[in-house]
A and B are shown apart, each in its own frame.
Chain A
Amino acid sequence: QSVLTQPPSASGTPGQRVTISCSGSSSNIGSNYVYWYQQLPGTAPKLLIYRNNQRPSGVPDRFSGSKSGTSASLAISGLRSEDEADYYCAAWDDSVVFGGGTKLTVL
């Protein structure tokens, strides 16, 4: 059972906008930054969003993050086939805690 709660799956068609939610508590998301990681099939995770809504260099602006209270979300606009991956939210809660991951399928 993961500390942070994500939907196990999400889907969209090319060009659509999809969002992935992440729910936590006051001890993690409620009091610390949220991070998002993208894991393409067969590869290591990659930092996608840091400090709730900041993109590392090289991450397209189609990816955006937000946080409100004890929940956060990742939005992907202009969905592309190469966005098909697993997405994980994470936060600090006296340790690194992850969500269970959301498998995004591009139909």
Chain B
Amino acid sequence: QVQLVQSGAEVKKPGASVKVSCKASGYTFTSYDINWVRQATGQGLEWMGWMNPNSGNTGYAQKFQGRVTMTRNTSISTAYMELSSLRSEDTAVYYCARGTVDYYDSSGYYLDYWGQGTLVTVSS
């Protein structure tokens, strides 16, 4: 079965960086995008960007451009999301999710499997 298993909780100081991992299993890692979505406590879902594990190509939400980097290691089927220059507003649960392009009589893109989430706390 498809599984995405994320690394454990992190506590960081303002200005530092955090790198969260997402290990995929149960499918061919290079056949589907990996997306990152975050959720602050009591808030909604916020999409951060996507990465194609086959090519390494990425696309980031404008809000995170210049601060986020998404990479992968295909030999261990693992994706990474690094966020730099952390501030208190970055405190949130970060999820990785598998992305699928959807074409039939229209088009779309959906996230069909999600990791368990990684809590990142930014505090001095």
Nearest A-chain residue to B4, judged by Cβ? A44
Q: Is B61 an interface residue (CB 8 A)?
A: yes
Q: Is A24 an interface residue (CB 8 A)?
A: no
Total contacting residues, chain B, CB less than 8 A: 26
Q: Is B89 an interface residue (CB 8 A)?
A: no
Are A47 and B112 in contact, with the CB atoms below 8 A?
yes
Other-chain contact of B44, A31, A34, A98 (Cβ < 8 Å) = A98
Are B45 and A101 in contact, with the CB atoms below 8 A?
yes
Contacts of A33 on B, CB cut-off 8 Å?
A: 102, 106-108, 110
Are A98 and B110 in contact, with the CB atoms below 8 A?
no
The main secondary structure of chain B at its interface with chain A is: strand
Contacts of B117 on A, CB cut-off 8 Å?
A: 44
Q: Is B46 an interface residue (CB 8 A)?
A: yes
Contacts of A90 on B, CB cut-off 8 Å?
A: 45, 110-111
With contacts A50-B102, A91-B108 known, is A44 near B44, CB below 8 A? no
Other-chain contact of A98, B47, B95, B104, B113 (Cβ < 8 Å) = B47
Nearest A-chain residue to B113, judged by Cβ? A47
Give the docked Cα–Cα distance between A35 and B106 (Å).
13
Give the docked Cα–Cα distance between A46 and B45 (Å).
12
CB pairs A–B below 8 angstroms (10 shown): A33-B108, A37-B111, A45-B97, A46-B114, A47-B111, A51-B104, A51-B108, A88-B44, A95-B61, A100-B44
With contacts A33-B102, A45-B95, A51-B102 known, is A96 near B111, CB below 8 A? yes
Are A99 and B108 in contact, with the CB atoms below 8 A?
no
Are A47 and B110 in contact, with the CB atoms below 8 A?
yes
